[in-house]
Amino acid sequence: MPSEAGVDDLTAMDPSTIEQPDPGGRPPAKSRSPVDYATGLILRVCRIAGSGSFVDDARESLAAEGIPAAVRTRDTAALFDWLVMSFSYQGIADQVAFDYMERHGQATWQVIAADLRRGPTCPKLSSYWQFHDCRYNKTRYTCAEPDHLPGCPLPNHWLRNGRLNETAYALHLFIRDVAGGDLVAWIDRRLNTAAKHPGPDRLARMRTALLDPLKEVHGVSDKILMMTLSVLFLGAPSRRRRWREVGTSMIAVDTLVHNFLHRTGILARFRAGHPDGVACYRPGGCADIIETVAEQIDARQFNRRFPAAFSRFVQFAIWRYCAQQGLGVCNGNQIDDRKRCDNKQCSLYSICYRKRLHKAE
């Protein structure tokens, strides 16, 4: 995602909606409900780290790469190449991933399609469903079908690690076999079917309709799917209203966001303590809490064109408040997590529980 420049106009903010500091530096009274406590604290974060240009920045970035045009023309090859590139950024610094791709290239739709047309002998490359459990390891040069490895095209793509090779082939086979070769049409069908019945869970159904099958693609997690699809959907052509609607609701919970919710005591107030990772997306986890809070914050105060409830905006403001690439306030470089945070310069200090992340040694 592009970096944020801060909220463009705070004059519309209502200070009465922000939980006020305690002059003694004590955390707010426990009599406040978990939702009220979390909303007051996260709204302050949105004031500091949010951006009224959040959606415009995403659209400009995508337009520069030709992705909205690829959606309009249903150019599956271009969309696949962009998705594979986006997935390559997980688990490592963005600059390191970028530099590696600049030197070695990436797996593309056209090359993989040509590989598969040659009829590789490995039975796992016959279909998306048979590709399961490939277990290719780049370093050891091993896989689940070693007799077929010398003629397998998968290792020919010099990606950063073998998992990315598997992801590229799994995604290609998914689009070919499950989506019928037309990713845009598949997304439209899934969203339209899920949106048929109104109700408070409509957005959740639409997200699930896409995420559940895509999570079965090897190496693709909730976090990377939410992050990538949110950008794609927010930057989609205006006629794809449902894409944009779902994109606003997608929440990418990484370690920074999870640790923020722990340090501030939000997880404790919701009785939702859990380890970072998959549990963040389980019922009552980090994503659910952020979505609940986002429903209390009218994002139109940051930009009149925003939807009232904008979960992705709220989550990204938290991330930007914490990340070194953002404001760099609430992270392990600034805080000794063996004890309570003592950064009195933090704007949240007087309303934050400052819970220790790790046990003291």
pLDDT in tens, 85-144: 999 877 777 788 788 888 888 999 999 999 999 989 999 999 999 999 999 999 999 999
Comparison of pLDDT for 350 and 3, the residue scoring more: 350
Q: Is pLDDT above 60 for 342?
A: yes
Query: For residue 26, what pLDDT is reported?
Result: 53
Comparison of pLDDT for 191 and 100, the residue scoring more: 191
What is the arithmetic mean of pLDDT over 63-69?
95
Query: For residue 29, what pLDDT is reported?
Result: 54
Q: Is pLDDT above 60 for 35?
A: yes
pLDDT tier for residue 27 given thresholds of 50, 70 and 90: low
Query: For residue 32, what pLDDT is reported?
Result: 80
Name every residue whose Cβ is closer than 8 Å to that of residue 93 and which is 6 or more positions away in sequence.
none
Q: Taking phi first (over 0 means left), then psi (-120 to 50 degrees means alpha), and beta for anything else, what does residue 271 get?
A: left
> Quick check: 206 and 221 in contact, CB under 8 A?
no
What is the arithmetic mean of pLDDT over 48-54?
95
| Backbone φ, ψ for residue 137 (5° rounding) | -120, 115
Quote the CA–CA distance of 347 and 41 in Å, as a whole number. Answer: 10
Q: Which residues pair with 137 in a beta bridge?
A: 142
Count of C-beta atoms within a 10 Å radius of residue 228: 22
Name every residue whose Cβ is closer than 8 Å to that of residue 356 and which is 6 or more positions away in sequence.
337, 338, 339, 340
pLDDT tier for residue 13 given thresholds of 50, 70 and 90: very low
User: pTM for the full model?
Assistant: 0.86
Quote the CA–CA distance of 22 and 41 in Å, as a whole number. Answer: 13
Quote the CA–CA distance of 204 and 230 in Å, as a whole number. Answer: 14
What's the gap between Cα 196 and its chain centre? 26
Query: For residue 54, what pLDDT is reported?
Result: 94
Count of C-beta atoms within a 10 Å radius of residue 230: 23
How is the chain split among helix, strand and coil, in percent rounded to 5?
A: 50, 0, 50
Nearest CA-CA partner of 294 in 43, 54, 32, 62: 43
Q: Is pLDDT above 60 for 16?
A: no
Residue with token string 């003629």: 151
**Please, what is the average pLDDT of the chain?**
89
pLDDT tens, residue by residue, 239-268: 999 999 999 999 999 999 999 999 999 999
**C-alpha radius of gyration, the chain, whole number:** 22
- DSSP assignment of 205-224 equals HHHHHHHHHHTTSTT--HHH
Query: For residue 124, what pLDDT is reported?
Result: 97
From the number of C-beta atoms within 10 Å of its C-beta (0-12, 13-18, 19+), residue 85 rates as middle
Q: Is pLDDT above 90 for 1?
A: no
Q: What angle do CA 52, 56, 59 make, to 5 degrees?
A: 150
What is the arithmetic mean of pLDDT over 133-156?
95
Query: For residue 47, what pLDDT is reported?
Result: 97
Q: Is pLDDT above 80 for 6?
A: no
Query: For residue 101, what pLDDT is reported?
Result: 84
Q: Which residues pair with 96 in a beta bridge?
A: none
Quote the CA–CA distance of 161 and 138 in Å, as a whole number. Answer: 6
79-83, 94-98, 183-187, range with the lowest pLDDT: 94-98
Nearest CA-CA partner of 5 in 303, 322, 320, 228: 320
Query: For residue 117, what pLDDT is reported?
Result: 94
From the number of C-beta atoms within 10 Å of its C-beta (0-12, 13-18, 19+), residue 23 rates as exposed
* Strand spans (E) along the chain: none
Domain ranges of the chain: 1-74+220-361, 75-181
What is the arithmetic mean of pLDDT over 173-194?
97
Name every residue whose Cβ is closer than 8 Å to that of residue 31 and which is 6 or more positions away in sequence.
none
pLDDT tens, residue by residue, 277-326: 999 999 999 999 999 999 999 999 999 999 999 999 999 999 999 999 89
Side chain identity at residue 184, one-letter code:
V
Q: What angle do CA 96, 253, 238 make, to 5 degrees?
A: 90
